[in-house]
Amino acid sequence: MSGYVHLFIPGPTNIPEEVRQAMNLSMEDMRSARFPELTLPLFADLKKVFKNETGRVFIYPSSGTGAWEAAMTNVLSPGDNVLMSRFGQFSHLWVDMAERLGFKVDCLDMEWGTGVPVELYAEKLAADKAHRIKAVFVTQNETATGVTSDVAAVRRALDAAGHPALLFVDGVSSIGSIDFRQDEWGVDCAVSGSQKGFMLPAGLGFLSVSQKALEASKTGRHIRCYFSFEDMIKTNDIGYFPYTPPTQLLRGLRASLELIFEEGLENIFARHHHLANGVRAAVTAWGLKLCATEPKWHSDTVSAIRLPEGIDGVEVIQHAYRAYNTSLGSGLSKVAGKVFRIGHLGSLNEGMVLGALGAAELTLLDCGVKIEAGSGVGAAINQFRAAATATTARAA
């Protein structure tokens, strides 16, 4: 089929041409005297994306899953009590990892389509007078269901209870796209990955840690090797890694960070919200519903869209790819076959979103969903134009 394959999954996301070109270079010596000229500014600038001025950031040759493991094995000890919640495939996988690593997990199972139960967390923390809970976990953005949770509210619950537990946040599909403030919210370990808002291929796991987490790592008793903070700190401080780093990805990260800083984080957050509003307007016009059960859970990086009874989500995804060269996100686990997902994060603009919605409309019609042709695209156009008009009026 002629034309591009359109990528509208929630990661990996589209890679800007400047980033692709930055990675298109010959291999280089990762132990050369000049290598720290690349790496030391990378560590410093990556902290700015997390809004972490007081701690440090680690870059692992891994996916975000590796950074999950690095956070737990460096900072906690086997048998530690941790408070978690499960409301989608990725929060489930984090719980599964914690259990397999030997932590005592108090997991609150919530309806898929909702998010972190802050009120229940607050009750658990207030009742834990002996401070047995060593860490509280928050999946800021549940990619499987298109749900964003309130990290700041969890910090307020910890503070209200006077609880010293560490705060861990999975920000793989949020950091760099949705507002995140590590220092202000008192987040101790924040995890992300290269293939989402950072607009890179998969292969880099980012872990931004607080001073409190660094101190805890000195007494943590979990076995660690590849992900060891100690090994990383010794070499990172002079601009190197304890093993061979993916040098081309690091060059791409340099270009990606330049694009992020050029646009500005607050502008990026506003753009993602704007584009997400267009998708949500289309879903409403189609007469469909999001998997997220209430507006307070709506994600600005991915929308999981419920399909009518009798419509197979797997066939929707396959048909979009076969007929229209378009990759849409599939439903996972409990929502497999029941939803399809549109990723709207990273290097994206209105025209690209309209393309995603147009391909989705064609696919839905072909698969027997009773919607009016052009309804979703038209609603998104009206949403985008209304937002542009409002912005112009505010500026006048």
Give CA–CA dist 30/235, Å, rounded: 12
Inter-axis angle of helices 313-324 and 350-366, nearest 10: 110
Q: Which residue(s) pair with 330 in the sheet? A: 340
375 burial class (0-12, 13-18, 19+ CB within 10 angstroms)? middle
Sign of the CA dihedral with 40 first, then 46, 51, and 54 last: negative
* Residue closest to 12 by CA, chosen among 302, 300, 315: 302
Q: Show the 3-state SS of 100-150.
A: HCCCEEEEEECCECECCCHHHHHHHHHHCCCCCEEEEEEECEECCCCEECC
Q: Extract the tokens encoding 256.
A: 């990606």
- Which DSSP category does 311 fall into? -
341 is in an annotated binding site: yes
> Which residues make Cβ contacts (< 8 Å) with residue 210, sequence separation at least 6?
52, 54, 55, 182, 183, 186, 187, 188, 189
Residue pair 199/256 in contact (Cβ under 8 Å)? The answer is yes
The angle subtended at Cα 136 by Cα 131 and Cα 138, nearest 5°, is 165
Query: Would you give the end-to-end CA distance of the chain in angstroms?
Result: 46
Cite the annotated binding site for substrate by residue number: 341
User: Which residues fall in the annotated binding site?
Assistant: 341
